[in-house]
Amino acid sequence: QSALTQPASVSGSLGQSITISCTGTSTDVGGYNYVSWYQQHPGRAPKLMIYDVSNRPSGVSSRFSGSKSGNTASLTVSGLQAEDEADYYCSSFTRSSTSVFGTGTKVTVL
């Protein structure tokens, strides 16, 4: 199972919006609405930000939103803040009843 494809890095200025893509295939991202997104600060465990494509867990800012079109899922962060600077990973259920993570995206706030 190959990792889902994410851009290595994305940057944006304070207050701007950024979007991170996550590309898979019809056997994972495109086949199921089980895409999740995780935020990871250096030296910390990942934190769930979005589940089932577009749902936000309690306590996660509404500035974070998720969507999916075909084999590509996306995470949008609006009103970028300094604390959003982190690594972000997508994940999907697969046809083999396994989980696969994305390659990871480093978000830099300018």
Partner 1 sequence: QLQLQESGPGLVKPSETLSLTCSVSGGSISSSIHYWGWIRQPPGRGLEWIGSIYYSGTTYYSLSLKSRVTISIDTSNNQFSLKVNSVTAADTAVYYCARKRSSTWYFDLWGRGTLVTVSS
Binding site for partner 1 (CB under 8 A): 1, 3, 32, 34, 36, 38, 45-48, 51-52, 57, 89, 91-93, 96-104
Question: 8 near 107, Cβ under 8 Å?
Answer: no
Q: Report helix, strand and coil shares of the chain as percent, to nearest 5.
A: 5, 50, 45
Nearest approach in angstroms of CB 15 to partner 1 is 29
Q: Which is nearer to partner 1, 12 or 102 (CB)?
A: 102
CA gap 26, 83 in Å, rounded = 34
Nearest approach in angstroms of CB 67 to partner 1 is 16
